[in-house]
Amino acid sequence: MGTGTDTTDGDGPLTLDTGGRPTVGVEEEYLLLDPDSGLPLPHVDAVQEAAGMHPAVHHTELQNELLQAQVEVATPVCRDLAEVGGHLLRLRHALAAAAETADCRLAACGTAPYAPSTPPAIVDAPRYHSIRRNMSRLADEALINGMHVHVAVPDPQTGVEVLNRLRPWLPVLTALSANSPLWYGSDTGYASWRTVVFSRWPISGIPPYFTDAEDYERRIDHLLEARLIRDRGQLYWQARLSAKFPTVELRAMDVQLRADEAVMLAGLVRALVVTAMREAAAGRPAPERTPESLDGAGWHAARYGMDGTLHDPATGLSRPAGELVASMLAALAPVMDELGDTRAVVPLVDRLLNEGNGAERQRRHLTEHGRSGLIAMIAAESAAA
């Protein structure tokens, strides 16, 4: 769910490559599920130990999350989407094999479809014990998994300009990525229940508008001074500046069932960031959207996903979801062509519009194949089988 600090380090900090393209890195969070019951299992130590022995996995790529039934991966710094896909496939394969040796299955779903009645065990580390004490019941209900995309920016001021321009796009990314309809054995009626659960944490949701980089720092310093957060890792906004690297970090997305869908989203995010940087450099103002309009759009995206309408980032008015996504692709096409990302993004968006996002596919599979079939499908797609 992203309760720690930034972890995407790989072989160096994210930055601009020699061609001026922003490098990119991806973090993914997974659950470890019982193959029969689908219940989360606290097997992270065994899974990490087994995966860490794999010659293709470096120990820095494996991370703890809050709960012992979760594991997180962080790709190295990548210069193109083919690298992102290669690393995610490699890491998913290794972790899926390690999970099988630990009698569980890797599950790239945004929420635990089934969960025990007792609180899940947390990882035995001072930071996580502190979070458990402070968050209480919220920590008990943290069986949620997201994906985070880091994109390099040249300086904090540019990063803040990007954040301001990305705010209206966050609900669209939530809808596209929605992969968490089930929770504790029932259908929530939401496409992204993870978004709803995470919105209850402090300093979360769509970030506010910042005047400039100094305003960003001043407001965070106040949160630290007031002891409302203990460190910058507890800024749970859906988009933020990295505390560790010169990047903006997009956190609005559910983890994806398929690795290629994660690559698709990473490409969309990078294109949005590059477009925002160029709009800022050209002096074009950020869209004027009120906090309540963005909050409402974010809730609507979490509730309905791609089923029906989304809210136009420029006007805030409702439009058919497919129509809005088509206009987004048209607007981003020149940048994606320039970055060489079009072939890794557009066909996957088309497939998502035809087959449904993860939430729609989970619901459909549960209806057609029942609980055991759902868990088998999640495990198979997560492992890229």
Q: 3-state SS string over 206-239? A: CCCCCCCHHHHHHHHHHHHHCCCCCCHHHCEECE
Query: How many whole angstroms separate alpha carbon 243 and alpha carbon 235?
Result: 10
Query: How many whole angstroms separate alpha carbon 241 and alpha carbon 313?
Result: 21
Rounded to the nearest 5 degrees, what angle is found at the Cα of 174, between the Cα atoms of 221 and 347?
A: 130
Residue 12's pLDDT is: 43
User: How does DSSP classify residue 26?
Assistant: E
Helix/strand/coil for 130:
helix
Pick the CATH number of 24-382 from 3.30.590.20, 3.40.50.1370, 3.30.420.10, 3.40.47.10: 3.30.590.20
User: How does DSSP classify residue 55?
Assistant: T
Residue 18's pLDDT is: 42
Per-position pLDDT tens, the chain of length 385: 666 544 444 444 455 554 568 999 999 999 999 999 999 999 999 988 888 767 667 777 887 788 899 999 999 999 999 999 999 999 999 999 999 999 999 999 999 999 888 888 888 888 888 888 888 888 888 899 999 999 999 999 999 999 999 999 999 999 999 999 999 999 999 999 999 999 999 999 999 999 999 999 999 999 999 999 999 989 999 999 998 889 999 999 999 999 999 999 999 999 999 999 999 999 999 988 999 999 999 999 999 999 999 999 999 999 999 999 999 999 999 999 999 999 999 999 999 999 999 999 999 999 999 999 999 999 999 997 5
Sketch the domain layout of the chain as residue ranges: 24-382
Strands (E), 91-135: 105-107
User: How does DSSP classify residue 321?
Assistant: H
Residue 17's pLDDT is: 53
Burial class for 122, CB neighbours closer than 10 Å (0-12, 13-18, 19+): buried
CA distances from 186 to 47, 115, 277 (A): 28, 10, 42
pTM score, two decimals?
A: 0.94
